[in-house]
Chains A and B, each alone.
Chain A
Amino acid sequence: MANSADVDKSIYYVPESGWYPVFLAFGLMLTVTGLAGWLNDVSAGGTGDATQSTIGFAIVALVLYSWFAKVIEENTAGLNNESVQKSYVWGMGWFIFSEVMFFAAFFGALFYVRSFVVPWLGGEGDKGISNYLWPAFEATWPVVQNPDPALFANPGESMQAPGVTDVSAWTAYLPFYNTVILLSSSVTVHFAHDAIKSQNRQKLIGWLGLTVLLGAIFLVLQVEEYIHAYTELGLTLGSGIYGSTFFILTGFHGFHVTLGTFMLLIQLFRAIKGHFSPKDCFGFEASSWYWHFVDVVWVGLFFFVYVF
């Protein structure tokens, strides 16, 4: 590997051809076809077989590991000049924007259901005639009485936040704690960034470790909340539109928190190895932007899924 001293910094580094992408594409295909076969089998009453998707996922994981290791190695060798770094910044920025639009689809669905579909089904507004389908249905949000409870069992209870003044109820309200945890983690990751800038590795490891810990606690509480919903409240994916929107929004958010925590964990290992310098810490920065994005989505969720 070239030594960083003899690399021409005016060069835009174009990597040699490599095996990662085509194997990653193959692994992805294996994963999703396996998953599709599995889901179809389970929906048809079978037991399902996850072998293929597990193998596919292992290939994906292996390729990603090698790919990122290679990129880090190239960067350490000094091959990535400022311009290449800038391409990474643009890449991550627009990737996060695409993620925002992914959530926009689900938020859009939530808003459309709440402002149009449910009132119309309840007989209000321009298309109130749809109430003829299920005349007994009344428009409320959260929908705890479904139009056709025989097809979609009513949820026993919703996850709605207590009234603003009801302090004792808030202290027992899990999503409130999760909000505090996630917002704090955005602050701690920012302190970690400051630690890189002031070249204090101990502080960096401390703050970054704390951020990962907060992410993990958030996830544990989220799982706790789901167990509570399924076993005690009777709120499931199958409980009509409230359960559908609730679980798809919080579920995909939780999935993204998992991803973000994992990314930060990798950066923690890299920090322990001494990878980052004030001028060269893209891996850390990208993960922290992702983390802030996940945080912002949660704020939206907290208000539109839980509070209002």
Chain B
Amino acid sequence: MSEVIHADHHDDHAHGPEKGLKRWLFTTNHKDIGTLYLWFSFAMFLVGGVLALVIRAELFQPGLQFVQPEFFNQMTTNHGLIMVFGAIMPAFVGLANWLIPMQVGAPDMALPRMNNLSFWILPFAFGMMISTLFMEGGGPNFGWTFYAPLSTTYAPPSVTYFIFAVHLMGASSIMGSINIIATILNMRAPGMTLMKMPMFVWTWLITAYLLIAVMPVLAGAVTMMLFDIHFGTSFFNAAGGGDPVMFQHIFWFFGHPEVYIMILPAFGIVSHIIPAFARKRLFGYTSMVYAVASIAFLSFIVWAHHMFTVGMPLAGQLFFMYSTMLIAVPTGVKVFNWISTMWRGSMTFETPMLFAIAFVVLFTMGGFSGLMLAITPVDYQYHDTYFVVAHFHYVLVPGALFSIIAAVYFWFPKWTGKMYDETLGKIHFWLSFVGVNVTFFPQHFSGLAGMPRRIPDYPLQFADFNMISSVGAFIFGLSQVFFLYVIIKSLRSGAPATGRSWEGAKGLEWTLPSPAPYHSFTQPPVVKDEEVLG
């Protein structure tokens, strides 16, 4: 394979972007599309964050202060949906767009027009979803898991718009994944064998498989909802021989791989940043690859641990308990490898490294609370309490989100040709680190003490923990506005960056100048082992 970019002689724009709005609307360039994804996800992150702050403001004290319970339910539902589908997932796809072609030595993504389509579906889909909040009867209010019959028999009419919005997001994800798989499998530079691929590329390859396997199942689930609501079917209604619990099975068959869709690329990012700042090769590359593959496989056979209390045969509970605990093994391998990479390294602690180390520590905590939840009899107590909220926010905020922020700081010089302001970056890190722990750590305690999730009011005994949690949430929220300031300031007045912006950074993308040229590799690069393997 030798690919160079097509130089279309009668088109002067072939080597550079178009001007103005048309550049962003019509682009087929992986960097432009990556940028669009990242800004879109940041916008959604702020919207979802505002909803979270409405929740935390209401929970600052017991009693109803700011919003009514009906509206509170819409806030929790949309906060979850927007953060999962609008912030975390598109951010990872944006990173994939920016990085994968550079890391495998390709000129662009394999299917550039479809790439643009995958992105542009999203603003429309989220426009639809957010507009439901202003419709008669209100927006979705049944939780981000939209369990039937709350989402069918008792749903507001706007649920129909929600269903179609989910269909569109699914189509976008599937096309994005197909593109990523085709790029990785078809467009690697000569000499880059599978076991020489950078970890971010590996994790995204496996994530893309997960997405193609489960997004259609989600589409099936919402389609059955649509039919139950509008065409009189009884999939989720026992009166007609269906079963509301079946909805939960189908949803979580999608939902559990979805959880790993949001964390595997994070594993990849951290596996780049830690070696760079420890100035050592990644420890146990091969075992990292197999660990990711094992986690992906296991993600398909653990789904019912989300529904231990729903009433399922004992054999089912035992199977799902043990299979879930098994995931701790490959995850443990990964954590061990990251720590071993740091062991006796020449470590420095720039902002991306701080976020990456915080990721390893705090994600592991989220993993441990996950192990507690996996124990069926114990889960009977924890189910639907704030302990669960604390658990998954620990894996998603200092987990997935911190890795995204770390990636932005790490590759920012490569993308823009400018360095961010290190002092401001560190301030951002410490504010986020304190904020996230103040917010979510107390929720372990209120959860263990029995505070249920998804309620706007609570007994007095939980008041202190909730107050602390709300203070933390506002610290965390404001520190992300500060992040925006850091980025904009660095874009405008950052110091110029060199090609290899970090002393210890390895990989094909660092062989390019900064900012990287519009079409990454016009000639396939020579793949040297010491470059791609560190």
Mark A residues whose CB is within 8 Å of B.
Answer: 2, 8, 10-22, 24-26, 28-29, 32-33, 35-36, 39-40, 42-44, 67, 79, 83, 86-88, 90-91, 94-95, 97-106, 108-109, 112-113, 116-118, 121, 125-127, 130, 133-134, 143, 146-148, 151-152, 236-238, 240-245, 247-248
Contact = CB atoms under 8 A, between A and B. Distances in A.
Nearest to B108: A14
Contact of B241 (A14, A42, A121): A121
18 contacts: A10-B4, A14-B5, A14-B108, A16-B11, A21-B116, A22-B25, A79-B6, A83-B1, A98-B212, A101-B217, A104-B216, A126-B313, A147-B239, A237-B231, A238-B232, A241-B234, A243-B233, A244-B233
Contact of A11 (B5, B28, B112, B242): B5
B55 interface: no
A90 B181 contact: yes
B241 A241 contact: yes
Contact of A28 (B18, B168, B224): B168
A42 B220 CA distance: 23
A244 B18 contact: no
Contacts of B311: 127
Contacts of A13: 6
Contacts of A105: 216-217, 219-221, 223-224, 250
Contacts of A148: 239-240
A152 B240 contact: yes
Nearest to A127: B311
B212 A117 contact: no
B246 A244 contact: no
B7 to A, nearest CB: 8
Contacts of A28: 121, 124, 168, 171
B297 to A, nearest CB: 16
A7 B173 CA distance: 33
Contacts of A104: 216-217, 220
B113 interface: yes
A44 B230 CA distance: 10
A90 B230 contact: no
Contacts, number: 259
A99 to B, nearest CB: 7
Given A11-B6, A151-B240, A18 B164 contact: no
A35 B168 CA distance: 13
Nearest to A151: B239
A117 B120 contact: no
A32 B216 contact: no
A67 B116 CA distance: 13
Interface in B107-139: 107-108, 110-114, 116-117, 120-121, 123-125, 127-128
Contacts of A26: 120, 124
Chain B contact residues: helix, strand, loop or mixed: helix
Q: Which of A90, A98, A100 has the largest number of chain B CB atoms within 10 A?
A: A98
B461 interface: no
Q: Which of A13, A147, A237, A244 has the largest number of chain B CB atoms within 10 A?
A: A244
A130 B27 contact: no
B229 A43 contact: yes
Interface in B242-295: 242-243, 246, 249-250, 253
A40 B160 contact: yes
B491 to A, nearest CB: 23
Nearest to B13: A16
Nearest to A10: B2
B319 to A, nearest CB: 13
Contacts of B246: 109, 112-113, 117
B235 interface: yes
A111 to B, nearest CB: 10
Contact of B167 (A32, A91, A100, A147): A32
B120 A240 contact: no
B99 interface: no
A95 B181 CA distance: 11
Interface stretch (B60-68, B182-190, B341-349, B401-409): B182-190
A276 B105 CA distance: 32
A1 B143 CA distance: 53
Contacts of B213: 97-98, 101
Nearest to A9: B2
A40 B157 contact: yes
A238 B242 contact: no
A86 B186 contact: yes
Contacts of B1: 83
B216 A33 contact: no
Q: Which of A42, A101, A143 has the largest number of chain B CB atoms within 10 A?
A: A101
A107 B177 CA distance: 24
B443 interface: no
Given A17-B28, A240-B240, A127 B313 contact: yes
A21 B514 CA distance: 29
A12 B231 CA distance: 48
B174 interface: yes
B530 interface: no
B391 interface: no
Q: Which of B29, B113, B167 has the largest number of chain A CB atoms within 10 A?
A: B113
